[in-house]
Amino acid sequence: MTTQTLDTIASAQLDLQLHVVEDRLRQDYTDLDRTSAHALVERERTRFAAARIHAFVPILVERAVRESLAEPPGRHRR
């Protein structure tokens, strides 16, 4: 028997939500493959790793990835 804590449940839920974000990004950006979408989402996700509340992380990650995809090539966010 395994015991799940709120942290493990929230983490699993966050993973699921971020997979949905990846799928949505790939639908909207047809030239974006699965590996690239995952890498972009994970890059942004790490910015929020120390956040105490993760409820808004998927929204913030998606917004940041979309902004980075909208930037002209050669320009990178800091």
Structure confidence at residue 7 (pLDDT): 59
Q: What is the CA radius of gyration of the chain?
A: 14
Residue, of 74 and 14, whose pLDDT is higher: 14
In this prediction, residue 78 carries a pLDDT of 47
- pLDDT of 55: 86
pLDDT tens across 8-57, in order?
657 789 999 999 999 999 999 999 999 999 999 999 999 998 888 888 99
Rounded Cα distance between 27 and 75, Å, is: 24
The CA-based dihedral angle spanning residues 53, 55, 61, 63, taken in that order and rounded to the nearest 10 degrees: -120
- Name the DSSP letter for residue 52: S
The pTM assigned to this predicted structure is: 0.79
What pLDDT is stored for residue 34 in this prediction? 96
Return d(Cα 22, Cα 34) in angstroms, integer.
Answer: 8
